[in-house]
Chain A
Amino acid sequence: MLLSLEPRGQQSRLMLWCSPLLAAALTLGCGSLLFIALGHDPLLTLHTLLIAPISDGYGVSELLVKALPILLCALGLAVAYQARIWNIGAEGQLLLGALAGSALAVNIIDLQSRWALVLILLVGTLAGAAWAGLTAWLRTRFNANEILTSIMLNYVALNLLLFCVHGPLKDPAGFNFPESAMFSDFSRLPLLMEDGRVHAGVYFALLALVAVWVLLQKSFIGFQIKVLGLDKRAAGFVGFREKRLIWLALLISGGLAGLAGVCEVTGPIGQLVPQVSPGYGYAAITVAFLGRLNPIGILFSSLLMALLYIGGESAQMSMNLPQAITQLFQGMMLFFLLASDVLILYRPRLNVRWARRAPATVPAGAL
């Protein structure tokens, strides 16, 4: 018996657009089964997980705060993934952005100028880009696989951050807690509303959204990135510069992740702590694919992912469900999305070999 996948003759574009919805529905369905198995009322649990958290203004603002770093990282990843450069390092690039921004912030804590914030944001963005630049250099210079190098650099970045927060950047007046000093108000992103934590980072996200959309949909650079991803030989034959495009895609990717990181420390957190990110950089990978690498799609999928984060926290508090629920839902979502895509493009076929063997004994005597 053999299971094989045959490409479908007619590929349905409509179904490809629907597959994220299908994946979301399947995730909800399987989640419900899980809740039943755990002895909870599935509808009530789903309500706690997905609806209760955003039923008031504060909840919506929390949703935006969570969605912001995911959106920024996923937009950058979309640029890299269009070129088929599999940057898995958004998490490390985010952490490095946060680290570099914080290092500057605690050193200019006395600077009484709005330029302090501008400088800090700039440094954080550049640090994220530089961290991705390492991956780009390894790839273009040594042809090292960017999946491996970017994942490994995530751990380097995390340990670098832990070292700094336990060492050089630790607040001398912080009772030996592994935290930096609180940044001055001139180094903080201004809040947009009185109640809630929504901050000016939202503007950056919207700006990045439009910029990435123009880059990918309207610009010739974006066209080159797409051609490189789809067909390297065609890109070479018309003279698109492969190495330059790899650098560009990774620098944009890392820069946006770095911006996400520095927005976290200058926005809701206000200081450098070991837990800057609960895995935003990894969640952004799922978000980028769930949004079909399209900036508009990514906007919606990042909101959905943020909702899962907040819902997971409230389910943990009010229903005593484990925190792993969030990761479980992320995993199921990516799994179902990939499965739907495969089944939309290919037809599975079970070859039952032993059933055909019956009439095969005749020819042996023919010679």
Chain B
Amino acid sequence: MPNPVPIPDQTPRLQLRHISKRYPGCLANDAIDLTIAPGEIHALLGENGAGKSTLMKIIYGVTQADSGEMTWQGQRVNIRNPSQARGLGIGMVFQHFSLFETLSVAQNIALAMGAAAGTPKQLEPKIREVSRRYGMALEPERLVHSLSIGERQRVEIIRCLMQDIRLLILDEPTSVLTPQEAEELFITLRRLAAEGCSILFISHKLGEVRALCHSATVLRGGRVAGHCQPAECSDRQLARLMVGEAAETITDYPKVVGGGVFLSVSQLSWHNPDPFGCSLKEVDLEVRRGEIVGIAGVAGNGQDELLALLSGEERLTRNDGATIRFAGQAVAHLRPDARRKLGLAFVPAERLGHGAVPELSLADNALLTAFQQGLVSNGLIQRRKVEALAEEIIRRFGVKTPDAQTPARSLSGGNLQKFILGREILQQPRLLIAAHPTWGVDVGAAATIHRALIALRDAGAAILVISEDLDELFQISDRLGALCGGRLSPLKATVDTRLIDVGGWMAGQFDAPHSPAPATA
């Protein structure tokens, strides 16, 4: 980790003064000040919903501020749209890539740059040169759908670098990368900064901000909570700036060894009908009673498919029923409600629109999965019991809501996730499967959710957690594995596993039982 270079005092590349932006019902940015010097790597830190995305959309011209002023290299500007921003030398890499999968790298870049920049063929030498100069291996002829997520991100970055660029904005760039890929990205970014390009790096991961950035602006609830030099701050100080004084320190939970096997998946292969989806290949997995198994992996490597097959949203034929077993009983052909009767509880990745119906009240959302718990008799809903259950979930899991009649969509992400998890836990499951349980949840709610999972584990339930957050997986799982390209690595006890091992598994470096793992870039 190179020490941050001191930034000489000169005209700032970009200066924001009192930028405010109001959306219906929320003040997304409230009088934000931000200064970025030439060659500086500046971090924009904050929880989900702190206003980071709004601010960078204002800088890139996707949306306009209601008030405040923006100065670009000493001149006042009013950026109305992204093409004007690009004209000034501002480039942006979004979290979700905007690439055409069926076109080649060069064709995608040519499309984005417009006809004046030349044909894809004419651009190829320049693409090669840029990718060599910044250490980003990339073949211009390759079709985008054959590229890994990390390589696609390189296409987006190179697209920005093809023009004369003065400020590069990256929105949570490492959220889709393995730790090794992230380290390669940092090398590129440091080289860019050394050449004088400013970088605005948006993240909520403290470790990487400290490793990469010269300075940081922390946002909380739409306001600037503080400016700091990340290299000189502890994780705790940064976390406190991000979430306020309520920040809980990371707890260590004791690791345990589970009892008898409850969930057993053997040689599960599933062909995905979606040509751009991921197919599962020979997945073997066992989760024992009283343990938490964590599965890491970059999004799109088979997580959604595995979850759908485990929950029963996708089913195999009766003949293949024994591929997935609960306590020895074949379930792979059973519907979700039949699997729930056998002790399954499930927390999907998407809270609104999958785990809960946005328009329905919390009480109705409690009924949604708990209907086999005596809440329905003679086909009629027992309203009083449903209300009682909803109120118990709200009380026991500290869900902040006016009452059980509030529609699910008006709860914050963390509160709704506590409600959904509480709903599943109060059904006393023998197997709980949770996808990304703390994604987009504030630190306080995440700690509550982790404690609840540990308590359920200690009560003897088998728990499977699929997450992209490695810190979370190391914190709560007893055994760990990773998905890559639809294959699951062998599981290993967390205490014997290093972060770098998981990074390798996420990139496919493990011995798959039958065929060699795919090579990585």
B367 proximity list for chain A (CB < 8 A): 223
**Contact in complex: B380, A218 (CB < 8 Å):** yes
Alpha-carbon separation in the docked complex, A239 to B342 (Å): 14
| Cβ contact of B379, chosen from A220, A231, A363, cutoff 8 A | A220
B242 proximity list for chain A (CB < 8 A): none
Lowest 5 A-B CB distances belong to which pairs?
A: A9-B25, A239-B336, A239-B337, A9-B24, A363-B77
Q: How many residue pairs, one in A and one in B, have C-beta atoms under 8 Å apart?
A: 95
**Minimum C-beta distance from B340 to chain A (A):** 7
Q: Residue on A with the closest CB to B377?
A: A220
Interface set of B (CB-CB < 8 Å, partner A)? 24-26, 72-73, 75-80, 84, 87-89, 311-313, 335-340, 346, 348, 350, 353-360, 364, 367-369, 371, 376, 379-381
Indicate whether A234 reaches chain B with its CB closer than 8 angstroms. yes
Show 10 residue pairs from A and B whose CB-CB distance is below 8 angstroms, ordered by the A residue.
A219-B380, A231-B358, A234-B355, A237-B336, A239-B312, A239-B337, A239-B340, A363-B79, A363-B84, A367-B89
Q: Residue on A with the closest CB to B77?
A: A363
Say yes or no: A221-B379 contact (C-beta < 8 A), given A234-B357, A237-B311, A238-B337.
Answer: yes
A359 proximity list for chain B (CB < 8 A): 78
**Contact in complex: B25, A363 (CB < 8 Å):** no
**Contact in complex: B381, A219 (CB < 8 Å):** yes
Alpha-carbon separation in the docked complex, A218 to B367 (Å): 13
| Cβ contact of A231, chosen from B75, B357, B381, cutoff 8 A | B357
B77 proximity list for chain A (CB < 8 A): 362-363, 366
Q: Residue on A with the closest CB to B381?
A: A220
A243 proximity list for chain B (CB < 8 A): none
A234 proximity list for chain B (CB < 8 A): 353-357, 368
Indicate whether A7 reaches chain B with its CB closer than 8 angstroms. yes
A237 proximity list for chain B (CB < 8 A): 311, 313, 336, 346, 348, 354-355
Indicate whether A6 reaches chain B with its CB closer than 8 angstroms. yes
**Contact in complex: A347, B379 (CB < 8 Å):** no
Q: Residue on A with the closest CB to B25?
A: A9
B338 proximity list for chain A (CB < 8 A): 239
**Minimum C-beta distance from A346 to chain B (A):** 10
Q: A220-B376, A238-B368 are in contact. List 13 more A-B contacts (CB 8 A).
A: A8-B24, A9-B26, A218-B380, A221-B379, A230-B360, A237-B348, A237-B355, A239-B335, A239-B339, A359-B78, A363-B75, A363-B79, A367-B88
**Minimum C-beta distance from A350 to chain B (A):** 16
**Contact in complex: B78, A347 (CB < 8 Å):** no
Q: Residue on B with the closest CB to A7?
A: B24
Indicate whether A10 reaches chain B with its CB closer than 8 angstroms. yes
Indicate whether A227 reaches chain B with its CB closer than 8 angstroms. yes
Interface set of A (CB-CB < 8 Å, partner B)? 6-10, 214, 218-221, 223, 226-227, 230-231, 233-234, 236-241, 347, 356, 359-360, 362-367
A241 proximity list for chain B (CB < 8 A): 335
**Contact in complex: B76, A362 (CB < 8 Å):** yes
**Contact in complex: A367, B87 (CB < 8 Å):** yes
| Cβ contact of A223, chosen from B87, B354, B364, cutoff 8 A | B364
Say yes or no: A230-B357 contact (C-beta < 8 A), given A239-B336, A359-B78, A366-B72.
Answer: yes
The CB with the most chain B CB atoms within 10 A, among A218, A226, A363, is that of A363
**Contact in complex: B368, A227 (CB < 8 Å):** yes
Alpha-carbon separation in the docked complex, A233 to B308 (Å): 11
**Contact in complex: B353, A366 (CB < 8 Å):** no
The CB with the most chain A CB atoms within 10 A, among B80, B311, B368, B369, is that of B368
A236 proximity list for chain B (CB < 8 A): 313, 336
**Contact in complex: B24, A6 (CB < 8 Å):** yes
| Cβ contact of B72, chosen from A6, A218, A239, A363, cutoff 8 A | A363
B89 proximity list for chain A (CB < 8 A): 367
Alpha-carbon separation in the docked complex, A220 to B313 (Å): 21
**Contact in complex: B357, A227 (CB < 8 Å):** yes
| Cβ contact of A363, chosen from B78, B356, B376, cutoff 8 A | B78
A365 proximity list for chain B (CB < 8 A): 75
B339 proximity list for chain A (CB < 8 A): 239
Alpha-carbon separation in the docked complex, A6 to B76 (Å): 30
Q: Residue on B with the closest CB to A221?
A: B379
Alpha-carbon separation in the docked complex, A233 to B371 (Å): 17
**Minimum C-beta distance from B72 to chain A (A):** 6
B381 proximity list for chain A (CB < 8 A): 218-220, 223
Say yes or no: A238-B380 contact (C-beta < 8 A), given A231-B353, A366-B88.
Answer: no
**Minimum C-beta distance from B386 to chain A (A):** 10
**Minimum C-beta distance from A234 to chain B (A):** 5
B348 proximity list for chain A (CB < 8 A): 237
| Cβ contact of A10, chosen from B25, B80, B350, cutoff 8 A | B25
**Contact in complex: B312, A220 (CB < 8 Å):** no
Alpha-carbon separation in the docked complex, A244 to B340 (Å): 20
B336 proximity list for chain A (CB < 8 A): 236-239
**Contact in complex: A360, B80 (CB < 8 Å):** yes
